[in-house]
């Protein structure tokens, strides 16, 4: 059975509102982040509604789910790309290395049809490496 991909017009107003709120964001927000930005804009939506809307939007292919550390994050960039996760601040960044299409052409197991792959790099981001570590003598 195949899921029919909805067009943007078929989205409910709530889901449309959530999609608009995440569009253009590059920080891979959590449902809670999206909820807060909507509330700041005067929306009266609930966190549960935002969470459900993001799940549906991900299932329908409008956004991608990103699994880092902590709660799931969402990405309006639908083009396949890789992520970097900072172990100190938990932020998720887009990797600059291009998606390796050729990996999708090598069957990782006989009979397995690949539709895509994900790569997440874990480490410490540049803004966290710049800051002194705890107990590092943080004088003012």
Evaluate whether 74 touches 65 at the Cβ level (below 8 Å). yes
In the region spanning residues 51 to 110, those forming contacts with Zn ion, defined by CB under 5 A, are: 86, 88-89
Residue 47 vs 128, nearer CB to Zn ion? 128
Q: What is the DSSP string of 72-136?
A: -EEES--S---EEEETTT--EEE-SSPP-GGGGGS-SSTT--------EEEE--HHHHHSPPTTS
Q: Residue 75 touches which of Zn ion, Mn ion, none (CB < 5 to 8 A by kind)?
A: Mn ion
According to the binding rule CB under 5 A, does residue 125 interact with Zn ion?
Answer: yes
Q: Residue 94 touches which of Mn ion, Zn ion, none (CB < 5 to 8 A by kind)?
A: Mn ion
Query: Which token pair is 51?
Result: 């969470």
To Zn ion, the closest distance from the beta carbon of 71 in angstroms equals 17
Residue 19 vs 49, nearer CB to Mn ion? 19
Contacts to Mn ion by CB under 5 A: 75, 77, 94
The enclosing H or E element of 4 equals none
Give me the residues that bind Zn ion (CB under 5 A), please: 86, 88-89, 125, 128
């Amino acid at each position: 059975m195949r899921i029919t991909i909805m067009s943007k017009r078929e989205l409910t107003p709530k889901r449309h509102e959530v999609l608009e709120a995440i569009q253009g964001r590059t920080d891979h927000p959590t449902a809670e982040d999206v909820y807060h930005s909507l509330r700041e804009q005067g929306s009266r939506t609930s966190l549960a509604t935002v969470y459900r809307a993001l799940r549906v939007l991900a299932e329908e292919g409008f956004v991608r789910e990103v699994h880092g550390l902590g709660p799931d994050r969402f990405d309006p960039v639908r083009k396949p790309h890789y992520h970097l996760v900072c172990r100190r601040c938990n932020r998720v960044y887009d990797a600059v290395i291009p998606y390796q299409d050729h990996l999708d052409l090598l069957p990782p197991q006989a009979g397995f049809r690949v539709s895509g792959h994900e790569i997440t790099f874990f480490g410490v981001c540049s803004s966290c490496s710049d800051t002194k570590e705890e107990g590092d003598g943080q004088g003012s």
